[in-house]
């Protein structure tokens, strides 16, 4: 055994004081007591599986003034996220084989945590040409920041027909392009009306008949209407911390609050939180979509949609656990176990044979979010001053990566797809 990590770990569905034995980056044994050359005792602090953020925009290549794989994955690590999935709306978008492979090389050189790349789909591309290299496919049913659009049923049908035999997950930005108002939005409320909850529900409903035979995942669900439509199919789903914790009234920072789908009314926010708390939403995903302060301070109509969040996502929700708004069981499921299960990763649980991706935190140490102390290139957050419980230590495959506010390990992030078999 290389290392033993001891503390109150989330093991077999509850917190138990155990020793986690690590060998070659994997969890080799979990016992009441274990011996090894190196023994780290975290006493009564809590040890959880590293979080997996299945929805981030790392902006490389093409938009590295906003973020790149080095800064984005550093930000992830400090938030307890040991694996990120990157979305294809970069420049160029990752649709063609050579562009996917090129992005992979960039990411492998710079990533501090493990990663998977989503493949994009256009109305003429063949997703099967990239299926062995991607963690899943991403379809944008509406126009949003830098997206390649598939708005028409015939194009969506063609894409799903090609993806179905690959058995990969299809994550969908579900807003119905035909129900969006094409106008200049003067502010946040108008932006929300231009992209109404009905557009979300309609887009989800259009996928319902395909959701049984394949793995369709609905990104960033926001509204009561959207939740209703989800129940009409067999989907998996994601919710973001900004839609769970903020609403169109509580967010007062104008262009900084502009995001797609938009922040909703308080009733929707509360309905979403209830769905998250009772398990109707499968996964917590940040939709980390950084833009620079300059870009966010333009006239509202010119502001690009998107907010950063990979570093604050888990810590904010951990503070919600502490407050009693959600259970620890639900959070660990949504942030760690379900993402691993949905996407087929050997991560997300403290269990023999899984990657030793772990975070250590003290639930009594409630801090506040401060934009200055975050690590994304964009340098701002919507959650300034919000309560959060950040991890004190983070391990990636048994290597200490973050300790007491500093990056201590080596850069060893790797592609989670590379080692997997091509489906037959």
How many residues bind to Zn ion according to rule CB under 5 A? Answer: 2
Contact between 126 and 151 (Cβ < 8 Å) = no
> Is the separation of the CB atoms in 114 and 414 below 8 Å?
yes
Q: Which is nearer to ligand NCD, 187 or 363 (CB)?
A: 187
288 binds Zn ion (CB under 5 A): no
CB of 240 to Zn ion, least distance (A): 9
Q: Which stretches of 251-297 are assigned E, i.e. beta strand?
A: 283-284
173 binds ligand NCD (CB under 6 A): yes
Helix, coil or strand: residue 388: strand
Residues 290-319 that bind ligand NCD (CB under 6 A): 305-306
Among 64, 74, 82, 89, indicate the residue that binds ligand NCD (CB under 6 A): 89
Which H or E run contains 156? helix 153-163
Among 259, 335, 369, 416, binds ligand NCD (CB under 6 A): 259
Please give the size of the binding site for ligand NCD, defined by CB under 6 A: 12
Nearest distance from residue 151's CB to ligand NCD, in Å? Answer: 14
CA distance 351 to 414: 21
Looking at 25-33, 126-134, 141-149, 325-333, which segment touches ligand NCD (CB under 6 A)?
141-149
User: Does the annotation count 287 as an active-site position?
Assistant: yes
The single residue among 289, 310, 359, 369 that binds ligand NCD, judged by CB under 6 A, is: 289
Task: Please give the structure tokens belonging to residue 74.
Answer: 């550093």
Q: Does 144 bind ligand NCD (CB under 6 A)?
A: yes
Lay out the sheet containing 38-49: strands in order across: 26-31, 14-23, 3-11, 38-49, 358-361, 393-396, 399-403, 406-407
Residue 119 burial by CB count (10 A; 0-12/13-18/19+): exposed, middle or buried? buried
Q: Decide: 351 and 282 in contact? Cβ < 8 Å.
A: no
Sheet arrangement for strand 216-218: 51-56, 81-86, 114-120, 136-140, 169-173, 216-218, 236-239, 283-284
145 interacts with, out of Zn ion, ligand NCD, none, CB within 5 to 8 A per kind: ligand NCD
Task: Decide: is 378 part of the binding site for ligand NCD (CB under 6 A).
Answer: no
Q: Say which entry of ligand NCD, Zn ion, none residue 306 contacts (CB below 5 to 8 A, set by partner kind).
A: ligand NCD
Residues listed for the chain: 424
Binders of ligand NCD in range 42-71 (CB under 6 A): 57
Residue, CB closest to Zn ion: 173
**Measured distance CA(358)–CA(80) in Å, rounded:** 8
- The CA-based angle 378-380-384, given to 5 degrees, is 160
- Phi, psi for 12 (deg, rounded to 5): 50, 45
For residue 145, the minimal CB distance to ligand NCD (Å) is 3
Contact 77, 394 (CB under 8 A): yes
| Catalytic one of 53, 114, 287, 355 | 287
Q: Which of 287, 311, 357, 415 binds Zn ion (CB under 5 A)?
A: 287
Using the contact rule CB under 6 A, the part of the chain among 139-147, 246-254, 338-346, 362-370 near ligand NCD is: 139-147
- Give the tokens for residue 192: 């929300």
Q: Looking at beta carbons only, is 144 or 269 nearer to ligand NCD?
A: 144
Encoded tokens for 72? 């984005």
Please tell me the distance from the alpha carbon of residue 146 to that of residue 295, in angstroms, as a whole number: 14
Q: What's the closest the beta carbon of residue 92 comes to ligand NCD, in angstroms? A: 14
Out of 8, 110, 168, 173, the only residue in the binding site for Zn ion (CB under 5 A) is 173
Beta carbon nearer to Zn ion, 28 or 139: 139
In angstroms, what is the minimal distance from the CB of 172 to Zn ion?
9
If one counts every other C-beta atom within 10 angstroms of the C-beta of residue 296, the result is 21
- Minimum separation from the CB atom of position 37 to ligand NCD (A): 45
**Does residue 145 interact with ligand NCD by CB under 6 A?**
yes
Name the residues that contact ligand NCD, by CB under 6 A.
Answer: 57, 89, 144-146, 173, 259-260, 287, 289, 305-306
Interacting residues with Zn ion (CB under 5 A): 173, 287
Return the active site residues.
287
């Amino acid at each position: 055994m290389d290392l033993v990590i001891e503390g109150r770990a989330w093991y077999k569905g509850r917190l138990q004081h155990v020793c986690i034995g690590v060998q070659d980056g994997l969890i080799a044994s979990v016992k009441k007591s274990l011996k090894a050359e190196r023994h780290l005792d975290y006493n009564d602090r809590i040890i959880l599986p590293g979080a997996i953020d299945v929805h981030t925009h790392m902006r490389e290549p093409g938009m590295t003034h906003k973020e790149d794989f080095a800064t984005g994955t550093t930000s992830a690590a400090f938030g307890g996220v040991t694996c990120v999935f990157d979305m294809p709306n970069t420049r160029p978008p990752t649709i063609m084989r050579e562009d996917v492979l090129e992005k992979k090389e960039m990411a492998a050189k710079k990533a501090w945590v493990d990663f998977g790349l989503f493949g994009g789909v256009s109305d003429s591309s063949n997703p099967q040409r990239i299926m062995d290299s991607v963690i899943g496919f991403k379809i944008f049913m509406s126009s949003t920041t830098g997206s390649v659009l598939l708005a028409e049923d015939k194009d969506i049908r063609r894409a799903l027909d090609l993806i179905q035999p690959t058995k990969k997950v299809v994550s969908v930005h579900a807003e119905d392009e035909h129900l969006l108002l094409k106008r200049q939005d003067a502010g946040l409320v108008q932006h929300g009306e231009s992209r109404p909850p009905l557009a979300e529900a309609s887009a989800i409903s259009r996928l319902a008949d395909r959701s049984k035979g394949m793995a369709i995942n609905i990104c960033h669900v926001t509204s009561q209407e959207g939740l209703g439509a989800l129940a009409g199919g067999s989907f998996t789903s994601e919710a973001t911390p900004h839609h769970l914790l903020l609403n169109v009234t509580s967010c007062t920072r104008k262009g900084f609050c502009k995001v797609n789908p938009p922040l909703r009314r308080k009733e929707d926010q509360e309905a979403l939180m209830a769905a998250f708390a009772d398990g109707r939403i499968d996964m917590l995903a940040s939709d980390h979509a950084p833009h620079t302060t300059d870009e966010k301070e333009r006239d509202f109509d010119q502001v690009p949609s998107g907010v950063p969040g990979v570093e604050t996502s888990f810590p904010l929700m951990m503070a919600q656990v502490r407050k009693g708004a959600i259970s620890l069981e639900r959070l660990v499921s949504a942030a760690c176990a379900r993402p691993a299960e949905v996407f087929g990763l050997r991560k997300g649980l403290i269990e023999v044979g899984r990657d030793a991706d772990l975070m250590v935190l003290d639930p009594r140490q409630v801090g506040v979010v401060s934009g200055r102390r975050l690590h994304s290139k964009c340098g701002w957050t919507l959650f300034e001053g919000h309560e959060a419980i950040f991890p004190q230590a983070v391990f990636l495959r048994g290597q200490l990566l973050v300790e007491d506010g500093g990056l201590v390990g080596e850069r060893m992030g790797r592609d989670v797809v590379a080692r997997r078999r091509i489906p037959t």
